[in-house]
A and B are shown apart, each in its own frame.
Chain A
Amino acid sequence: MKATIERATLLRCLSHVQSVVERRNTIPILSNVLIDAGEGALKVMATDLDLQVVENMAAASVDAPGAITVSAHLLFDIARKLPEGSQVSLEAAENRMTVKAGRSRFSLPTLPRDDFPVIVEGDLPTSFELPAKVLAELIDRTRFAISTEETRYYLNGIFLHVSEEDRPVLKAAATDGHRLARFTLPRPDGAEGMPDVIVPRKAVAELRKLLEEALDGNVQIDLSASKIRFTMGGEGGVVLTSKLIDGTFPDYSRVIPTGNDKLLKLDPKSFYEGVDRVATIATEKTRAVKMGLEADKVVLSVTSPDNGTAAEEVPAQYASEAFEIGFNANYLKDILGQIDSDTVELHLADAGAPTLIRQDDKSAALYVLMPMRV
């Protein structure tokens, strides 16, 4: 294999794929990227066995087609440090790959391409497209609620499913058992009959990074019950393929309250800032903030055995009976940070029941937050 490529192209491409590669690997080849030189283009691929990213990059020239694998992080670090605007030559020979640019020259160990594991996609019968912006919003609105507990592995991702309501919809949901985020959009053509799937957290994170550079286009999504593939940037773009979490997502609809009759409306920004300020003195990790709801105001307060007390009054629209409820400050802030509007609605029942939070009844995103005992 011998090819020449612009340093900027190589760097951009490696930055996309290298984060898939785990820093520590027991299987040596998983530390490597596959570089496959074809006609006028190079294909770069990285995998962690559950997730793979393939990106095509335009080559300045391909002198000898062929494929080889080298350490992803080494090559990325080298590409980073090479002079801007330089042409990088990659040449594989005798278990080594030579990287040359300007007066620099590196000789890196390689492993054969045939040992590089490729995820077998199998048949992906469901196919639909989503604007990249919509997919990015779907992820942003839900991913913060993804659980990190390994034992309930089926919560370690975003759940996607279609459903027939007054209109056909595609829903995304994530929960860690304390809060739930749901994002609903009209069902895209081709998604009908789609199996319920759980997209793992790491795939979500990698996908979101890739979307950031392709926000203007569409994303092609192909999936089966066990695999999902996202194609961005069309020909010569990036393809992310991931295994899906093999588990059953809980029936989350039953925890979304429908009869909460106490409505609180306020400005999410001043609410967020108030919560953030009073939580400063909370010592516990969970940072419980007490909300005292009164006529047209909320009194936020924190009492810490070590750090004293804090209180702040936030103006609000509230006409139901006064009561107190506690929430994890970080959870509240996570949700409030997702509201792009000058009002947020909190639908409450009592201090021990799930609270529904949303921008308004038309918003695509909906949040459910369980209180804390305070």
Chain B
Amino acid sequence: MSDYPAAEGEEESEGAEADASVTDAATSAEGTDASRKIIHIDMDAFFASVEQRDNPELRGKPVAVGGSAGRGVVAAASYEARKFGVRSAMPSVTARRLCPDLIFCKSRFDAYREASDIIRGIFRDHTPLVEPLSLDEAYLDVTADPRQLGSATRIAQAIRREIFAATGLTASAGVSYNKFLAKLASDENKPNGICVIRPGDGAAFVQSLPVRRFHGVGPKGAEKMARLGIETGADLAAKDMVWLRANFGSFADYLYEAARGIDLRPVRANRIRKSFGGERTFSEDISSPPELRETMDRIADIVWERIERNGAKGRTVTLKLKYNDFQIATRARSLPRNVIDKADFSQIGHSLLEEVMPLPMPIRLMGLTLSNLQGAPKGGRKERRDAEAQLTLF
């Protein structure tokens, strides 16, 4: 069996935004001005720091969490490794080329989750309005200042101190009056730093930044902007809405506001996770039925372990395949009830797989996801709640 790199589902990857897969229940007041106090806390090289904390031999050395073989990708890199240019989501082969002394660690999600639970507990000591983005970062709305610390900056410092005391890990904090600015700020003085963007300074701060720092602007987007003569937030702010619409379509609204430091999104507490999944990219493309089935077994095992750990229950199983021409195919099945156990989950995965076989071409990736989770606020929720209230014999 080929070595499966530990490319965990994107929701698990460090720092990944998970907006697409969550909905909100409780939300903070939607601020239309600069009266809110928002903190973004981001753990420093979280997975790698946990490894360095738990294994003193790794301290001060370039460490990457993730699979080292074949098509493995780096899930997280220590700051020592980042100096060599190693980044999250980078193929491990590339990472090793950049940093020949790089030490690869297998991911230990139990340890990360344990640390994450502690951190989230600290957040909730300070405010009920906590919106976790992943295991290692979260937005907090501290406008109400329940512990009467006096300022958002003091709260952020208290949180960073408490995190270090409880976990031995460092965090960076961004403090501002909206989520967009708070997130930019937390990145400003990383690692183990804090940055405050005060009301009135937001627009100037944003305009000093290269557009690449804007969330949602990737390498391709930055390239396009460069072609259009836009390098910084100031360049963007100089453009009017009509021009932005013409060039960026639906993305224009966001860019227009971002360039002015405006972000009215509330901090959404109790975001509810909508899916649990995982996928594997293979060392070599596979196509033979026995290999495909064996892979399905492995993925079902891994994903189910994650589902169980979270006590999740769901009704929809989705199979994802990426063919070697990078086309993505998905197949889903929804049940009238929750998936019962690993055997059930695996069986559905297998039957979805059988439906697509024989494959038109080899695949480079297979993934399996459980969604339509219990308690997700959506149509039919009431019935599912009822179904859950019914206890089962088997």
Binding site for B on A (CB under 8 A): 149, 151-152, 175, 177-180, 250, 252, 255, 284-286, 288, 326, 328, 352, 354, 368, 370-374
Contacts and interface: CB of A to CB of B under 8 A. Distances in A.
A159 to B, nearest CB: 13
B394 A372 contact: no
Contacts of A152: 340, 344
Contacts of B388: 373
B394 A250 contact: yes
B394 A352 contact: no
Interface stretch (B59-67, B303-311, B379-387): B379-387
9 contacts: A151-B344, A152-B344, A177-B393, A252-B393, A285-B386, A286-B387, A286-B390, A288-B386, A352-B391
B347 interface: yes
B390 A284 contact: no
B327 interface: no
B335 interface: yes
A372 B393 contact: no
A285 B347 contact: no
A149 B335 contact: yes
Contacts of B393: 175, 177-180, 252, 255, 354, 368, 370
Given A151-B344, A250-B394, A284-B382, A372 B389 contact: yes
A373 B392 contact: no
Contacts of B337: 149
A56 to B, nearest CB: 41
Interface in B358-394: 382-383, 386-394
B348 interface: yes
B200 interface: no
Contacts of A252: 393
Interface string B16-54: 000000000000000000000000000000000000000
B392 to A, nearest CB: 5
A372 B390 contact: yes
Nearest to A328: B390
Interface in B209-267: none
Contacts of B336: 149
Q: Which 5 A-B pairs have the closest CB atoms?
A: A286-B386, A370-B391, A255-B393, A373-B389, A284-B386
A14 to B, nearest CB: 34
A277 to B, nearest CB: 20
Nearest to B392: A177
Contacts of A370: 390-393
A284 B383 contact: yes
A179 B387 CA distance: 14
A131 to B, nearest CB: 31
Contacts of B394: 175, 177, 250, 255
Nearest to A179: B393
A178 B387 CA distance: 10
Tell which of A151, A177, A372 has the most Cβ of chain B within 10 Å.
A151
Contacts of A352: 391
A286 B335 contact: no
Contact of B348 (A151, A177, A285, A328): A151
A127 B291 CA distance: 45
A80 B123 CA distance: 75
A334 to B, nearest CB: 14
B307 to A, nearest CB: 16
A152 B335 CA distance: 11
A45 B276 CA distance: 50
B390 A151 contact: no
Contact of A151 (B335, B382, B386, B387): B335
A284 B335 CA distance: 19
A280 B141 CA distance: 45
A175 B347 CA distance: 21
A247 to B, nearest CB: 11
Given A252-B393, A286-B390, A372-B390, 5 more contacts: A152-B340, A255-B394, A370-B391, A372-B389, A372-B391
Interface in B330-353: 335-337, 340, 344, 347-348
A211 to B, nearest CB: 29
Contacts of A250: 394
A94 to B, nearest CB: 43
Nearest to A354: B393
A107 B357 CA distance: 45
A152 to B, nearest CB: 8
A150 to B, nearest CB: 9
Nearest to A175: B393
A152 B392 CA distance: 14
Contacts of B348: 151
B391 A151 contact: no
A174 B391 CA distance: 17
Contacts of A177: 392-394
A179 B391 CA distance: 10
A288 B391 CA distance: 12
Nearest to A282: B386
A288 B389 contact: yes
B57 to A, nearest CB: 49
Contacts of A175: 393-394
A243 B344 CA distance: 24
B391 A286 contact: no
A301 to B, nearest CB: 15
Given A149-B337, A151-B347, A151-B348, A178 B390 contact: yes
Nearest to B394: A177
A252 B394 CA distance: 9
A374 B389 contact: yes
Nearest to B387: A286
A149 B348 CA distance: 13
Nearest to A283: B382
Contacts of B383: 284-286
